[in-house]
C-alpha cells in the first residue's frame, strides 16, 4: 500500500532542516506548530544558524515541547541572550496534542521535527511529523530506490 503524500505548508523561508529524518523514519502524518520563542531567538533563527538534527518533541502535561533544538546565541545580543538548547514550547490545538499523545503512547511512534521555517506573515513555525522508526533493511531499500531513481533519470536524459 502506498503511503499518502505529506501535507505541504506555506514555507516562505526555511531556517533549519532535518534532512536525515526522512531517511531514519517512516513519516505517517505532519503537523504545523507555532514556536514560542524568547527575545534574541528570532534574530538568531533569521540569521539561519539553527540546527534541529538531534532534536525531538515530547508531550508533557498536555503540552508539546521541542527538546534539544540548537538555536545559538545571537552574536549582537547582550546579557539578556537566550539559552541555546532550552526546551521550547510548541503551540498546537488540544485535539492535535491528544492525537499525538495517543499515537506516541499506544503505537510507539516518535515526534520528529522536519523543518523550522518562517511563513508568509513572518511567524516561526515547526513542521512536526508523527513517525515510526525504520529498520536497517528499510534504510537499505531507501538507498537502493534513491540510486535507481538517479540512474533512471540519467538514462532518460541520455536517450532523449
How high is the pLDDT of residue 58?
93
CA distance 77 to 89: 22
Give how far Cα 64 sits from Cα of 3, 96, 134, Å. Answer: 26, 10, 23
Cell numbers at 136, concatenated: 536497517
How high is the pLDDT of residue 5?
64
Q: Could you give the domains of the chain?
A: 13-134 (2.40.280.10)
Q: How does DSSP classify residue 10? A: -
How high is the pLDDT of residue 99?
92
Residue 28's contacts (CB-CB under 8 Å, 6 or more residues apart) are: 3, 103, 109, 129, 130, 131, 132
Phi then psi dihedrals of residue 13, to 5 deg: -145, 115
0.95 surpassed by pTM:
no
CA distance 113 to 110: 10
The pLDDT tens digits along the chain (160 residues) read: 566 665 667 778 888 899 989 889 999 999 999 999 988 888 889 888 889 999 999 999 999 999 999 998 887 777 778 888 999 999 999 999 999 999 888 888 899 999 999 988 889 999 999 999 889 998 999 999 999 999 999 999 998 7
How high is the pLDDT of residue 73?
87
Strand partners, 30: 129
Cell numbers at 110, concatenated: 516518535
90, exposed or middle or buried, with CB in 10 Å at 0-12, 13-18, 19+? Answer: buried
Grid coordinates 533569521 are at which residue? 46
131, exposed or middle or buried, with CB in 10 Å at 0-12, 13-18, 19+? Answer: buried
Amino acid at each position: 500500500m502506498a503511503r499518502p503524500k505529506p501535507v505541504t505548508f506555506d514555507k516562505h523561508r526555511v531556517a533549519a532542516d532535518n534532512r536525515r529524518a526522512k531517511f531514519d523514519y517512516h513519516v505517517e502524518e505532519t503537523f504545523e506548530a507555532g514556536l514560542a520563542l524568547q527575545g534574541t531567538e528570532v534574530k538568531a533563527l533569521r540569521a539561519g544558524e539553527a540546527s534541529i538534527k538531534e532534536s525531538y518533541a515530547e508531550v508533557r502535561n498536555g503540552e508539546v515541547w521541542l527538546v534539544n533544538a540548537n538555536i545559538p546565541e545571537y552574536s549582537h545580543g547582550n546579557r539578556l541572550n537566550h539559552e541555546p538548547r532550552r526546551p521550547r514550547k510548541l503551540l498546537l490545538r488540544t485535539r492535535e496534542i491528544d492525537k499525538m499523545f495517543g499515537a506516541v503512547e499506544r503505537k510507539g511512534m516518535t515526534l520528529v521535527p522536519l523543518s523550522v521555517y518562517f511563513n508568509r506573515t513572518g511567524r516561526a513555525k515547526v513542521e512536526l511529523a508523527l513517525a515510526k522508526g525504520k529498520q536497517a533493511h528499510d534504510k537499505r531499500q531507501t538507498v537502493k530506490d534513491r540510486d535507481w531513481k538517479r540512474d533512471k533519470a540519467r538514462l532518460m536524459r541520455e536517450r532523449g
